[in-house]
Amino acid sequence: MLIIRPIRHTDFDALKTIAVESGHGFTSLPVNDQLLANRIARSEASFSKHITHPGDEGYLMVLEDTDSGDVVGTCGVEAAVGQQDAFYHYRLGTEVYYSGQIGVRNEVETLTLCHDYTGSAELCTLFLRQSYRRGLNGRLLSRVRFMLLAQFPERFGETVIAEMRGISDENGSSPFYGWLQEYFLGIEFTEADYLSGVGQKAFMAEMMPRSPVYVCLLPEAAQRVIGEVHHNTRPALSMLQAEGFRWRNYIDIFDAGPTVECSRDDIRSVKESRLYTVNISKALVESEVQYIVANTLLDDFRATLTTLHIDEDSDTVNISPALAKALLLDVGQAMRVLAI
């Protein structure tokens, strides 16, 4: 059985393997032992922390194959970005130039450095190992985060964002970053990406262009990739779009990938998930309908994918003893259910 649960310190080796496999552009999991250990410790503290409003918490979960004991994927949610470190984006806008004297009107796109998403929750750190990229495993890993948002809305910002990986080649070079490297930063894309991922962002404030950048003055290769996603990221973007996420003209400052957003309470899976009272039974009605199911605990959060027969007129759902054990559920407790 595949079970999603909060990460533990004993998952360090598995998380490091995922960090290595994820490759260039996966800034939330840098290949750095101390930072990975810190990420795990921060998540453990966040899941056990009592809060009244979202702050600098980060919730990291893993997908475990309970048959083998292997951790095969990870996903995370940041409660409210920009609380400790500046959270930068470029905002794509338009300036209008008009002269009645010569009868000319021009609209010019601009990129302006901003912190507009400060305080937003962020979907992050989604990675599924290659051998498990089949069936509905990817959907489970991505959408389970919405179960957490639905159950504990007070722990997350009212706007939820997701940064989509932008265009880069097999060596990790970004066409958009090329002009930035040449005229401003002077370091390789992979190094800048790494420094950002480990939270060493002082160089951004010191070296990034402070004035709006005119898109028409960028190299054509850089212009073409603004708002475009890496081919490996297209399935994730499509899934988020189906949930109601939209691009509002914000891009990553290094690779120009789009950042999409949705109001927390308007996310499709948040709205459509329902709570049912658990009844445990060995005699279950067969069904082919797949659901993501989760308990309503925080530090002992558990979720998985299963088939269920649900009577929409009832507030009770029957589950097997094995499923109840896997989700740490007992008779009469609540279970959150989402049709997949």
Hey, which residues are catalytic here? Answer: 230
**Torsion sign over Cα 29, 32, 35, 39:** positive
Beta strands at 246-251 and 89-99: parallel, antiparallel or unpaired: antiparallel
- 142, 244, 88, 94 alpha-carbon torsion, rounded to 10°: 150
DSSP 85: S
Cβ atoms of 293 and 335 closer than 8 Å: yes
**Which of 108, 107, 115, 96 shows the shortest CA–CA distance to 253?**
115
Q: How far apart are CA 200 and CA 139, in angstroms?
A: 32
Cβ atoms of 190 and 30 closer than 8 Å: no
Q: Where are the alpha helices (DSSP H) in the chain?
A: 12-22, 33-48, 137-151, 175-180, 189-197, 202-207, 220-224, 234-242, 268-272, 321-326
- Chain length of the chain: 340
3-state secondary structure of 187: coil
CB hemisphere CA count around 236 (13 angstroms): 25
**Which of 167, 156, 162 shows the shortest CA–CA distance to 241?**
162
**Torsion sign over Cα 10, 22, 148, 36:** positive
Q: How far apart are CA 29 and CA 321, in angstroms?
A: 36
3-state secondary structure of 4: strand
- Rg of the chain over Cα atoms, rounded to whole angstroms, equals 22
Q: How far apart are CA 292 and CA 4, in angstroms?
A: 11
Q: How far apart are CA 233 and CA 236, in angstroms?
A: 5
